[in-house]
Amino acid sequence: MANSGIQLVGYFLALVGWIGIISTTVLPQWKQSSYAGDAIITAVGLYEGLWMSCASQSTGQVQCKVFDSLLSLDVHIQTSRGLIVLAMILGFVGVVISVAGMECTRVADNNPPIKTRIAISGGALFILAGLCTFVSVSWYASQVSQQFFNLNTPANARYEFGSALFVGWAAASLTILGGALLCCSCGPDDRAGQQYYRHSQSQASTTREYV
């Protein structure tokens, strides 16, 4: 049978990564105002996310405004939105499927090959969710970097990487690692179990034909 310890570790890592993906999606700190340069405004801190832009006053007051129009947004924001939402959906399906395929559950317990395939399918969904998150966060970060080093961008209008990007990179890594452990949980014992299951089925069919 599959190594239940590896499955539990992989599922836990993937679950934590999926929660991190959700946190990355809702956090507004995808980019924050830069304090590099001569013309610096320290009284107000600006930061933006996929859904809103916020201004933090020196008094601690924060004001946020949701983006009014979808079509007026930059292409990289729309693409990042689509990828991160897709990652959340894939992660949710992976959470449900992986539970059914784990050795500690009784779903398809009498059919080890099917149970193993279910676990591997859940791991593959986690890997896809992590890749979508990684592409989304990295693409957004590349746009922030290009605008920062653009000579035409004023010094007081430049942005740097926000904390949500680092949360996204960490979440993508955990999700991919957890999904990989779930996919690799099918070891030699599982292949032997599959061969034994096929052999038992063939013997049963042969016996029925003989009778």
Contact assessment for residue 74 and residue 1, using Cβ atoms and an 8 Å cutoff: no
In the predicted structure, residue 190 carries a pLDDT above the cut 90: no
Maximal C-alpha separation, the chain: 92
Burial 27-54 (b: 16+ CB within 10 A, else e): bbbbbbbbeeeeeeeeeeebbbbbeeeb
Topology of domain 4-29+74-210 in CATH is Butyryl-CoA Dehydrogenase, subunit A; domain 3 (1.20.140)
What is the C-alpha to C-alpha distance for residues 210 and 31, in angstroms, rounded to an integer? 72
Tally of CB atoms within 10 A around 184: 15
pTM for the full predicted model = 0.79
**Domain residue spans of the chain:** 4-29+74-210
* Predicted pLDDT at 19: 96
In the predicted structure, residue 54 carries a pLDDT above the cut 50: yes
Sign, Cα dihedral of 124, 126, 132, 138 = negative
SS3 category, 186: coil
Give the model confidence (pLDDT) of 85-135 as tens digits: 999 999 999 999 988 877 766 665 666 677 778 888 899 999 999 999 999
Contact assessment for residue 8 and residue 105, using Cβ atoms and an 8 Å cutoff: no
Beta strand spans in 49-203 (E) = 52-57, 62-66, 159-161
CA distances (Å), origin 3, targets 29, 135, 166: 39, 31, 32
* Predicted pLDDT at 15: 94
Query: Please, what is the average pLDDT of the chain?
Result: 80
* Predicted pLDDT at 105: 67
Q: For residue 56, what are the β-bridge partners?
A: 45, 62
